[in-house]
């Protein structure tokens, strides 16, 4: 059974940094497209980043230069390093296993709140 478990969310001050982790089971992270998608409170879904099986990475313009997606193959874990955080980054962050057409599996999400 595919399972994705995010950790690392919390309250952080503007300008601060946070690293989210996503532990995967039931499949191999390094063999899949792995994404982060976020959802601000009461708002819709926003794609954030993806890492390909080959290691290529892509980012939404809103986070480019501030966020870094990576993975640890030995731990079968996906990460999102978030720097220079802003109030508008406040959201539930979902880890996701993506296919070419769509997102196939989602984690339960972890809440990041950027506030002073």
Task: Determine how β-strand 57-59 pairs with β-strand 67-72.
Answer: unpaired
The least CB distance from residue 70 to other proteins, in Å, is 16
> Is position 69 an interface residue for other proteins (rule: CB under 8 A)?
no
Cα–Cα distance, 8 to 108 (Å, whole number): 13
- CB-based contact 22:95 (threshold 8 Å): yes
SS3 109: coil
> Is position 5 an interface residue for other proteins (rule: CB under 8 A)?
no
- CB-based contact 26:5 (threshold 8 Å): no
> Is position 106 an interface residue for other proteins (rule: CB under 8 A)?
yes
Residue among 50, 80, 82, 112 that touches other proteins (CB under 8 A): 50
The least CB distance from residue 24 to other proteins, in Å, is 14
> Is position 27 an interface residue for other proteins (rule: CB under 8 A)?
no
The least CB distance from residue 46 to other proteins, in Å, is 7
> Is position 84 an interface residue for other proteins (rule: CB under 8 A)?
no
CB-based burial label for 46 (10 Å; 0-12, 13-18, 19+): middle
Give me the residues that bind other proteins (CB under 8 A), please: 33, 35, 37, 44-47, 50, 52, 58, 60, 94, 98-104, 106-109
């Amino acid at each position: 059974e595919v399972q994705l478990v995010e950790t690392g969310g919390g309250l952080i001050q503007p300008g601060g940094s946070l690293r989210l982790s996503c532990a995967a089971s039931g499949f191999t992270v390094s063999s899949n497209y792995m994404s982060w998608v976020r959802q601000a409170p009461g708002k819709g879904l926003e794609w954030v980043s993806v890492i390909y099986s080959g290691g290529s990475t892509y980012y939404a313009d809103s986070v480019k230069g501030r966020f870094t997606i990576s993975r640890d193959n030995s731990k079968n874990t996906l990460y999102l390093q978030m720097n220079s955080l802003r109030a508008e980054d406040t959201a539930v962050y979902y880890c996701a296993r993506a296919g070419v057409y769509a997102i196939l599996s989602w984690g339960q999400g972890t809440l990041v709140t950027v506030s002073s």
